[in-house]
Amino acid sequence: MNMFDGSKSVNSGRYQSLSDLIASVIELGDLPEETRGTVVEYCQKALVNDVLDQNTEPRPPRLYLFGRSGAGKSSLINAVSNEEVTEVGTFEPTTASSEVYEAELPRINEKWHLVDSRGLFESVPADGGMSVNTVEKLKADLETYNPDILLHVMTPEQVRAGEDDFDTIEKLDDALVGGLPPRVTCINKVDTFLSLGEDWPPEENETVRQRIIEVLNLVTEILPVYQHENIDAEDSVRGRLFGSNKNLGAIPLYVKEKPYWNLTALKDMLYYRKQNQTILDFTQVQRQKRMMRRLARKQTIQMAETINESPRRLIVDPRVPIVTGLESFLIALIGAFAGRKLHRKTVEEYHQSVDLSLGDVMSTTSGVTTDVITGLFKQDLKYIRNNFYCVGRSAEVFFFDDERVDPEEFRPEAKQYFHQS
């Protein structure tokens, strides 16, 4: 599904429909044909490639497994798919880089994508913290695979010493546009609580049961989670559902070899119904929203850089409304990414939300008229670039979060971004 009917080629037969659409969104009025064509052309050039290429067709659910060395990610993939799809290591990581496996789940008659991530957690000592480089590489990997759900695989020992891991997850959540996908904490290798000669599974060993419950309590406390319920109302050792859209729950597991223990609880959790939809349905909707929000942010940056590279004569000439045209188009696009129509009314809805005039303001964040801003641009062309970023971020928050934030509040963020880029 494309955002609109159009082509990247200006010579194609479909370009005219895109031109007309752009013109209707930015409302060029009775401008001469040459001027109109100039503004529309700059709007077309400012589109990020992803907009015209974006495909949002359904795909199999995708789980992204990450965790430190020895947590048992590969074993969990093999258990979920019920066949040997990847090597399983004992001490050294066997996966050189992230790789996607397709797994059949016969019980629910569905295919899944499982991303076995080397996650870069393996590159860090067991008692060491995460480097900035680790966070950046994990961020890039998650943007590449765009999973529906994260499975944070940990052993009981790693949970006890896992503050660095949980802190890294929070840093990633802040760093990714739209935040991280919802996640499940998988406490693997709970058989380590078993002493030689003792009974297994935990239902037959009260000591092991209590130690598993203690680890579940610890995860609940560390995250922290303020509301939770047992997955099995009659058996608290099976795991917990959390009342959080970020942290879905915690599941204890044994998946080294058959018979696996508690694997069904993990699968059932993803199909647990909350508010008339399964958890998996919810996470897939959230994935689409994150994808659209990342496109919105990329479009904001692209627009800002495009206007900053435009010929100065077009920026300061009030007869060629490049600034207002591009700005209107940016607002409409962000609204469309969030589910609105790509329409002039979407632009008006945003302007009304932040009490901004559509009349004589050349840039909606500047609050000054054409005559004043003409002189300003001669001194500082970066000003308009930062303004575009501010407007885009304000529109993003409005359309995606239903919050009204004055564009000016994003000025420090704009300065920081363009200083670093």
Q: What is the DSSP string of 136-168?
A: HHHHHHHHHH--SEEEEEE-HHHHHT-HHHHHH
Res. 49 pLDDT band, cuts 50 70 90: confident
| CATH number of the domain enclosing 114 | 3.40.50.300
Last-in-domain residue among 247, 274, 301: 274
The residues pairing with 254 across neighbouring beta strands, listed in sequence order, are: 261
Count of structural domains, the chain: 2
| pTM, full prediction | 0.81
Same domain membership, residue 167 and residue 86: yes
How many CB atoms neighbour CB 171 within 10 A? Answer: 16
Same domain membership, residue 321 and residue 259: no
Would 356 be classed as within a structural domain?
A: yes
Average pLDDT over residues 144-157: 94
Would 37 be classed as within a structural domain?
A: yes
Same domain membership, residue 333 and residue 220: no
**Which residue's structure tokens are 């060491």?**
128
- pLDDT tens readout for residues 283-341: 989 999 999 999 999 999 998 988 777 777 677 676 777 888 889 999 999 999 999 99
Would 21 be classed as within a structural domain?
A: yes
- pLDDT tens readout for residues 83-136: 777 666 544 555 556 888 887 765 555 788 899 886 556 555 555 555 667 778
Same domain membership, residue 406 and residue 320: yes
Last-in-domain residue among 243, 274, 305: 274
Same domain membership, residue 230 and residue 297: no
Would 54 be classed as within a structural domain?
A: no
176 close to 148: Cβ distance less than 8 angstroms: no
The DSSP-derived string for 40-101 is HHHHHHTS-HHHHH--------EEEEE--TTS-HHHHHHHHHTS--S---SSS---SS-EEE
Would 367 be classed as within a structural domain?
A: yes
Would 256 be classed as within a structural domain?
A: yes
CA-closest candidate to residue 39, choices 299, 325, 313: 325
Structural domain of residue 368, as residue ranges?
A: 13-46+288-420
Same domain membership, residue 358 and residue 227: no
Would 344 be classed as within a structural domain?
A: yes
Same domain membership, residue 155 and residue 68: yes
Would 3 be classed as within a structural domain?
A: no
